[in-house]
Amino acid sequence: MLLVVGLGNPGTKYERNRHNIGFSAVEQIAEKFSSSPWVKKFRGELCEAKINKHRVLLLKPLTYMNLSGESVAAAAHFYKIPPENIIVIHDEIDLLPGKLRVKLGGGSGGHNGLKSIDAHIGPDYWRVRIGVGRPEVKENVVSHVLENFSKEELATQKKMLTAIVEYFPLLTEGDASGFMNKVALKMKA
């Protein structure tokens, strides 16, 4: 069983923010793979999908970003899912819009959602980092991630989400390199 977590903040006020790209990704994965209805559980919203032969739980923590680890840990402990079977999809300011990286483990890079997850389950889970760009002034990072995507960025992110959903089965099979390559090719097309 896999647990796929999309990071974001709950509520309509935040839904188009750069910080909510993880929520958007899991919502579209759920839609594509005919998931069960979303239910409120583990301080989040949870649904189940079947991707290839895998039972995949999709989770959107409703704890707000800084406490995401509470929701992730509750679901992981209940279903006895080890960190290496958890995939967290999140925004990444150190990547330009239209870029994506996947890696197992690592640091939080200052991302408060990842810091919270690390504190609750350790750092050894998969991260799907979706580029949202960095503001020119370091002090503007918080306002940058809590702002809505520009029209230009929105078109890029829509294309990115489509590619993530299309090739997500590769990631469930453990083919992170193949997944990244296919997404990158789709973004260049």
What pLDDT was estimated at residue 69?
A: 97
Give the C-alpha separation, 50 to 33, whole Å: 7
What φ, ψ does residue 43 adopt, rounded to 5°? 60, 35
Report pLDDT for 146. 83
The confidence score (pLDDT) of residue 9 equals 94
Please report the beta strands in 35-179, taking only residues with DSSP state E, as ranges in sequence order: 39-41, 44-51, 54-61, 86-92, 100-104, 126-131
Yes or no: say if 21 and 90 are a contact pair by the CB < 8 Å rule: yes
Higher pLDDT, 189 or 169: 169
Reported as a pLDDT band with limits 50, 70 and 90, residue 147 is confident
Sequence-separated (6 or more) residues with CB below 8 Å from residue 142: none
pTM for the full predicted model: 0.95
CATH of the domain at 67: 3.40.50.1470
Residues serving a catalytic function are 19
Domains identified in the chain, total number: 1
Predicted local confidence at residue 138, as pLDDT: 76
Instruction: Provide the residue range defining the domain that includes 31.
Output: 2-188
What is the C-alpha to C-alpha distance for residues 92 and 144, in angstroms, rounded to an integer? 11
Average pLDDT of the chain to the nearest whole number? 93
Q: What is the pLDDT of residues 41-79, one digit of tens each?
A: 999 999 999 999 899 999 999 999 999 999 999 999 999
CA distance 45 to 43: 7
Task: Characterize 34-51 residue by residue with b for buried, 16 or more Cβ atoms within 10 angstroms of its Cβ, and e for exposed.
Answer: ebeebeeebbbbbbbbeb
**Cβ proximity of 15 and 96 under 8 Å:** no
